[in-house]
Amino acid sequence: MDRIIATELTKTFQLKPGQTVRVDGIDTNAITVLNGLDLTIRRGEFITLVGPSGSGKSVFLDIVGGLTQATSGAAYIDGERIVKPDPRMAYVFQQYALFPWRTALENVEYALEVRGVSKAERRQKARHFLSLFGLGGFEDRYPSQLSGGMQQRVAIARSLTTDPEVLLMDEPFAALDAQTRDILQSELLRIWERIGCTVIFVTHSIDEAVFLADRVVAMTARPGIVKEIIDIDLPRPRDTEIRNTPEFAELRGRVWNVLRDEVQKAQKDWALASATAH
């Protein structure tokens, strides 16, 4: 059963009047980052989205998350057109986006708090999700007193409190060191296998994309469309050892082959990539 459907999504950013950039030899003040993206995501599926900088991965996530409007085309959740943040979805950001003045527990409570859930109930739920991520005992720490990995655990815990059907993750582990990243990937899989929600996970890491996904969606260089979808038929549950198998290496190679040309194209696009930030 299909959960998320995107049909012919396009997104064009308009620069401020007077500002121009050079795109393909032509001066313009409009940058197209998505150029008719079609994608269907099944219920309970773990999708990873890879592609060179500027291919519109994050923009796609923002459109699905209802945080920005597509220039044309539309995204649907369970057949309903998405026009604003949907309570069935939750968003996890690369930079954690925790409220620095709230403790870990209060941060996790936030999503339920703004939905009007009673204090006792949201507190209990927040504790549950913190302990799920091994953060029992850290409830009263402020974000500034937690490591990056712990902060991202808090942020993911916060996103799960509302029992989302779709979890949107925008390079959530990109700011972490390699070891922490490995650990969090496994933790995420462990918890996802229990919860069974749909995940759309944007990443720059091909290794991460293959390790997590049911399907890897490879995007073209800007303006982005889906270039190829690679099925990852590795067995679950997966642990980090699976990376050493020939099957994993082969899949990683396939994804890299799909992306190689696009990354080279994107290299010529540096000025634009920085102008549009992703």
Partner 1 sequence: MTFVLEKPASESSAFDFWRKRASVSRPTGRPTSTFVAGLPLLIAFCALWEIAPRLGWMNPIFFPPLSSVLAALLDLIASGTMGKHIGISLQRAALGFGLAVAVAIPLGFLMGRYTPFEKATDLLVQTLRNTSQFALLPVFVLLLGIGEASKIAITFYAAVFFLLVNTIVGVKSVDPLLLKAARSMGTSDWDLFRKVIFPWAIPFIVAGARLGVKASLFSVIAAEMLAARSGIGYLIQNSQLMLKSADMYAGIITLTIVGLLLNYGLVWMEKRATHWRASDGNPT
Nearer CB in complex with partner 1: 141/252: 141
> C-beta of 11: minimal distance to partner 1 in Å?
16
Nearer CB in complex with partner 1: 17/100: 100
- Give the footprint of partner 1 on this chain (CB under 8 A): 65-67, 85, 87, 89-91, 93, 95, 97, 99-103, 110-111, 113-115, 141-146, 148, 151, 162
> C-beta of 119: minimal distance to partner 1 in Å?
14
Contact between 155 and 173 (Cβ < 8 Å): no
In this structure, what token pair is assigned to residue 181? 């990243």
Cis omega (within 30 of 0) for bond into 87: no
> C-beta of 22: minimal distance to partner 1 in Å?
27
The CA angle 209-79-122, to the nearest 5 degrees, is 70
> C-beta of 217: minimal distance to partner 1 in Å?
21
Q: Which residues of 140-169 are buried (b: 16+ CB within 10 A; e: fewer)?
A: ebebeebebbbbbbbbbbbbbbbebbbbbb
Nearer CB in complex with partner 1: 82/218: 82
Nearer CB in complex with partner 1: 122/215: 122
> C-beta of 277: minimal distance to partner 1 in Å?
11
Sign of CA dihedral 73, 205, 149, 274: negative
Contact between 242 and 277 (Cβ < 8 Å): no
Nearer CB in complex with partner 1: 159/203: 159
Q: How far is CA 80 from CA 83, 84, 205, in A?
A: 9, 11, 32
